[in-house]
Amino acid sequence: MPLLYNLNMETISGKIAIVTGGTRGIGRAIAERLLREGVSVAICGRSGESVERAVREMQPLGRVAGHAADVTKVEQVGEFFRAVDREFGGLDILVNNAGEGVFRKVAEMTPEEWHRNIDLNLNGPFYCSHEALERFAKRGGGFIVNISSLAGKNAFSGGAGYNASKFGLNGFSEAMMLDHRHDNVRVSCIMPGSVDTEFQGDPAKRGGDTSWMIAPEDVAEAVALVLGMPARTMISRVEMRPSRPKQQLR
């Protein structure tokens, strides 16, 4: 599906993008969507084997590269971005997608579980954005898309760590936009609800039928939409919900 819905939309063909957590799920769908638009894409993931497999499978779609990197480790983030510099020679788009959730009530949550939420969902986007902004300054601008969650505005029992990380990511996104909008940097935050990925667990444990959920490709389409907006316009926040969520039986 082409991104140029009308003549006012901008093409992103020829741009260079990083998608963190791009080996599966939402990140994989975003990487594939950008490749189909002619974007050169670099992905990262914690497992070198999974990164290599994803790159190999996506190569027919376009120019793609990948590196093993844990975005919670600032040193590994720096090494990843320098590798992208060597391979692609620049950066135009950063999609902070890598994330996970540990769901416990506060009294039951360990400090290690708390940090798993905060380090990946909030610290990782900061580390990556810091690297990206340095490169955007040299290229005269860029675009950061943070994949957040409706959990970043709607708290729920058992989600304190995840809620805190996503509330924080939403606030970080808005503040970064205000900091750098006059540097020709646009920042958008995508906030999906229930998405049909491994993040939600075994489909059998979700009742089997996941057709009511948002598909990863739907989130990827939202990313493509915000990236293609005319330069004069920025979609700063997108909320996505299943049209017909699964009803609770009474």
**Residues carrying an active site annotation:** 162
Strand-pairing partners, residue 18, are 42, 94
The answer to whether residues 132 and 91 touch, using CB atoms and an 8 Å cutoff, is yes
Distance CA 3, CA 11 (A): 7
Token pair of 191 as six digits: 């906030």
Judged by DSSP in three states, 17 sits in: strand
CA–CA gap between residue 58 and residue 70 (Å, rounded): 21
204 CB burial (10 A radius; 0-12, 13-18, 19+): exposed
